[in-house]
Structure 1
Amino acid sequence: MSDFNKYCKEAALEELPSSEDEEDIGDEDTCSAQDLAAQFQLQYKPQDECSVSLQRDYVLSLSADQGFNRVAVGLSSSAVHIYNLDAGSGKLSNFSFLPPTESNAVSICGVRFLDEGPHNILVGTTDGYVRLYDLRLKGEQARFKYTQHLSVAPVPKSISCFDRNANGRIVCCGTNQFHSNVFLVFYDVRERRQMGVYCDSHEDDITSVRFHAQNPDILATGSVDGLINVFNVQEADEDEALLNTFNTESSVARLQWHRNVYDKDIISCITTTGDFKSYESEEGDEACSFERPDVTAAIRRKNASNFNLIGAHNQEDGEVFLLAGTNFNKGEILRSVSVTTKNTLQPLANFQGNKQIVRESLYDSKRRLLITGGESGIVTVWSQESSGSTVVGDKLKVKKEKKSRKQAPY
């Protein structure tokens, strides 16, 4: 019996509370359908979509290899599905399945491809492990877990987030608060060893760690304490490593790196209250700031209490767009707005046919494909609508898993 079939038949996972269970609070567009079509000039439809689980699992994490030919999907059950994405058709096909941990209390806290290729993948789980898999082989190839040092206060056995650096050499894990301390723990991937910890720069749960996409030594971290810290991880001493600190005066939910028109590094932040802020990482200046009602109005919706800011993505021309939706009518509304050079929000795209409250997203700027996952366990590939586009029907398919994790020998 395959891992997937065994999982589906034997798993007895408790159903997670869902935003979709909540009673909808009234909401509507602020303009007519004709005005919407005129303002959101890009129209997207599902190119392909599938349900990743027979259980009620959330999609909590998405990652793609550099060529955007393979996509990893991390679930709330701690299982991971890996799909091949056809470059021409935008269709998903099953490639591999990594089963969940034995404990029902463990969830995914991130999935990341280790390097430029599509074979090596890191899977972080809330029980404190980051596991390395080679998808050409069976079983995990390495496991990273904190080892206590006498010089450092006790570190929790769980992690909340992780990332790897640009050359795939270092993994950094963030923890929740434990005995009034929070930690950034570093591992050397090649030598399979722990390198050290930072433990003084945050005062509450660490919610996001993001290495710079090109510079392997630069790391941004965000926390419930509202701070965004930028480090040079070449420095072993934490005080010397800390390059800059930004106070969002809120609680950080997720971070992303961008590059502005002046070729300067920008760090964007989505807060837990649905605000968007960005900062020039070197100068320390705030680049722009939009509160929850601002973005709600920009996607042409009335009720900010239903609003859900999902992600900030880089476009091919260097501009940034925000993907946003609402919890109204099980997440039916999904739209994007671009952040202009004048620091205003401009309607960009309308995504028609959304079936869930979206929690995570990926964007391929070259092909202009968006991939979303959310609370109904659906992975959707969105493409810009054209006369020859293919639209998936209302009936979702649960694709049959392959029994082997191997694609081909070396």
Structure 2
Amino acid sequence: MIKTEKLSGFLEEEKNSSSEGENEESFEDGDICEDYELDKIFPFKYKLAQEYAVSLQKEYILSLCSDSTFTKAAAGISNGTIQLFDVVAERGLSALRSDFTQTPGSGSTVCGLRFLDETSNCLLVGTTNGYVRLFDLRAQREQALFDTTSESSTSKTITSFDCNANSRILCAGKEKYQDNVFLLFFDIRERRKLGGYFESHTDDITSIRFHERDPDLLCSGSTDGYINVYNIKEETEEDALLTTINTESSVDRLNWHKNVYEQDIISCITHTDFMLYKCEDGDEISKFERPVISTAIKRTNPANCNIINVHNMVDNDMFLLVGTNLRKGEVLRSLHVFNKTLVPLSNFEGNKQIVRESVYDMKTKCLLTAGETGIVSLWTPITNEDSDCTASKLKAVKKYKTKKIKPY
């Protein structure tokens, strides 16, 4: 495992190679204000507490998850391996030994990770060749295998999966195959297939999310542009389908939220926009197109805007995490989603990669990010103690400089 101090040479090599073959137009970007203005505009301050490079072979991190207590995390790497971490806000990340490789067969990669329950002892790992594996992290061995490849009419490729709130049901979404698109369900405890939904989508499934508290509520998104909401207690797919939402775009990522009235809200990140919908009737609450988001993070070129994820905060608030695709994606900022507007929240200075995955803990306000350079970064909020320490150092430097004797 390579710690922060050993990253510099690797990152410099990445930086030099990244400029080759780039479209010159994409480099026409920058902040719309000065650095000192950014410091005032983004009021909630973070520091880069620690970072780990999971590989020196230019591997991507494709998946990232944490347990419910934010004490363990797992990163799925493009070479098919999993890296486990202990997470302690005060001490940073501690890499754990993981002696299992999740990719049986060539050309298969990790397509998702989920901790099964609050004990953090069991991890679900989805691979693109059609399997979801359940691992016991204490014994470092496989406990169960859920096979989605048994039906000849379905694709061999899993694109997304999730488990429900009581850790009983697993749902896996499939790639389109011969005009068929499947959502397949498994009973995790009994290790058996329950059935599937076959008519709700017409293209690749891109996102599956169970409700965080209601084990029977599920939403799915697809490149066909539709978001479907289901009550999986119902016996048939037709009865289970509660709401269909047409985003008129290609769905990339879905998440569940609550509004001030404790009503369920679904957020949707497409490949161009960010939207919020009411779960009950599918009505659109707000829509933010990429130029609006780019302006909100104080950047000039919407073409470089990278909409990463949306996370829940305390009191049913939420924030949108946004970066850039410029060079190595050094710009990483967050926006508070407030009253149908986007308000600058945090500027994560020191980011070294295009971020693709993130996990947030509302209790500690810590953020984990990972992406295309294979780095897992832990961001922690700057406390008053940190600020006082920094101020003391600045005063000491200033005082030292005033006593310096000139050589002439």
TM-score of the superposed pair, with normalisation by structure 1? 0.87
Among 304, 307, 319, the alignment partner of 2:305 is 307
Residue 406 of structure 2: aligned partner: none
Among 352, 357, 361, the alignment partner of 1:360 is 357
User: Which string of whole-angstrom CA distances, capped at 9 and with x for unpartnered residues, describes residues 323-366 of structure 1?
Assistant: 001011311100000110x2011000000000000000000111
Residue 87 of structure 2: aligned partner: 85
User: Is the Cα–Cα contact under 8 Å of residues 339 and 345 in structure 1 kept in the other structure?
Assistant: yes
How many equivalent residue pairs? 370
User: Is the Cα–Cα contact under 8 Å of residues 176 and 182 in structure 1 kept in the other structure?
Assistant: yes
Q: What is the SS of the residue equivalent to 2:92?
A: coil
1:387 to partner: Cα distance: 5.8
Q: Measure the CA separation in 1 of the matches of 2:119 and 2:364.
A: 19
1:139 to partner: Cα distance: 1.8
> Does residue 1:108 correspond to 2:110, yes or no?
yes
Among 373, 387, 404, the alignment partner of 1:376 is 373
User: Which string of whole-angstrom CA distances, capped at 9 and with x for unpartnered residues, describes residues 278-328 of structure 1?
Assistant: 111013211111001110000000001111000000011211100001011
Q: Measure the CA separation in 2 of the matches of 1:167 and 1:207.
A: 23
User: Which string of whole-angstrom CA distances, capped at 9 and with x for unpartnered residues, describes residues 72-93 of structure 1?
Assistant: 1111122111111124333333
User: Is the Cα–Cα contact under 8 Å of residues 72 and 86 in structure 2 kept in the other structure?
Assistant: yes
Residue 323 of structure 1: aligned partner: 321
Q: Measure the CA separation in 2 of the matches of 1:120 and 1:382.
A: 25
Residue 58 of structure 1: aligned partner: 60
Q: What is the SS of the residue equivalent to 2:314?
A: coil
Among 121, 124, 145, the alignment partner of 1:122 is 124
Cα 1:147–1:353 shift into 2, 3 Å: closer
Q: List aligned pairs for 1:200-219, cutoff 5 A.
A: 200-219=199-218
Larger proportion of helix: 2
Which residue type is aligned with residue 120 of structure 2?
P
User: Percent identical across equivalent pairs?
Assistant: 50
Residue 396 of structure 2: aligned partner: none
Q: What is the SS of the residue equivalent to 2:40?
A: helix
User: Is the Cα–Cα contact under 8 Å of residues 83 and 96 in structure 1 kept in the other structure?
Assistant: no
Structure 1: which 5+ residue stretches go unaligned? 1-14, 392-410
Cα 1:331–1:81 shift into 2, 3 Å: same
Residue 292 of structure 2: aligned partner: 294
Residue 11 of structure 2: aligned partner: none
Residue 33 of structure 2: aligned partner: 31
Q: Measure the CA separation in 2 of the matches of 1:239 and 1:389.
A: 56
> Does residue 1:333 correspond to 2:360, yes or no?
no
Comparing 372-381 with 235-244, greater Cα deviation is found at: 235-244
Q: List aligned pairs for 1:153-302, cutoff 5 A.
A: 154-273=153-272, 275-302=273-300
> Does residue 1:96 correspond to 2:98, yes or no?
yes
Comparing 42-51 with 372-381, greater Cα deviation is found at: 42-51
Q: Measure the CA separation in 2 of the matches of 1:358 and 1:100.
A: 23
Structure 2: which 5+ residue stretches go unaligned? 1-13, 390-408
1:29 to partner: Cα distance: 0.5
User: Which string of whole-angstrom CA distances, capped at 9 and with x for unpartnered residues, describes residues 203-240 of structure 1?
Assistant: 00000000000000000000000000000111231000
Comparing 280-289 with 127-136, greater Cα deviation is found at: 280-289
TM-score of the superposed pair, with normalisation by structure 2? 0.87
1:94 to partner: Cα distance: 2.2
Q: Measure the CA separation in 2 of the matches of 1:84 and 1:314.
A: 22
Residue 69 of structure 2: aligned partner: 67
Q: What is the SS of the residue equivalent to 1:98?
A: coil
Q: What is the SS of the residue equivalent to 2:98?
A: strand
User: Is the Cα–Cα contact under 8 Å of residues 265 and 281 in structure 1 kept in the other structure?
Assistant: yes
Q: Measure the CA separation in 1 of the matches of 2:44 and 2:362.
A: 14
User: Is the Cα–Cα contact under 8 Å of residues 182 and 202 in structure 1 kept in the other structure?
Assistant: yes
1:100 to partner: Cα distance: 4.3
1:103 to partner: Cα distance: 3.2
Cα 1:371–1:97 shift into 2, 3 Å: farther
Q: Measure the CA separation in 2 of the matches of 1:364 and 1:204.
A: 33
RCO higher in 1 or 2 (8 Å CA, sep ≥ 6)?
1
Q: Measure the CA separation in 1 of the matches of 2:20 and 2:76.
A: 22
